Amino acid sequence: MTLEEIIQDLHALDARLRAYERKYGITSADFYELYGQGLLDDEGFEQSTEYVRWASAYTMKLKREAAFELASHNFVASIKINAAEQPLRLMPNPALAQI
């Protein structure tokens, strides 16, 4: 998966998670904790399906954030190495096409 795809996924997942958060009035992290503990009443196919989708989106977001964070740290490390003792010059990551 490219860096650009990771960032696009993060934006799409954020939008999806915000919709669930608006609907239920809780954060995705709080939902995921309740879901993981099996504390939610998920009777009915629709409710159960929605919870699975929300949990899946949140899990995917965590994975994409970890991948983005790793790519970011690696890029910053390469900038530091190339800068030696001079101030860092931040430029677009060459791993990105055009966002």
Buried b (16+ CB within 10 A) or exposed e, 70-88: ebeeebeeeeeeeeeeeee
Given this model, what pLDDT does residue 82 score? 82
Decide if 3 contacts 92 (C-beta within 8 A).
no
* Most trustworthy range by pLDDT among 24-33, 37-46, 83-92: 24-33
Q: What is the pLDDT of residues 51-77, one digit of tens each?
A: 999 999 999 999 999 999 999 999 999
Q: What is the identity of the amino acid at 75?
A: F
**Residue extents of the structural domains in the chain:** 3-83
Identify which of 13-22, 36-45, 84-93 has the greatest average pLDDT: 13-22
- How many angstroms separate the CA atoms of 58 and 29, rounded? 8
Res 40 pLDDT > 50: yes
Q: Which amino acid is at 89?
A: R
Q: pTM for the full model? A: 0.86
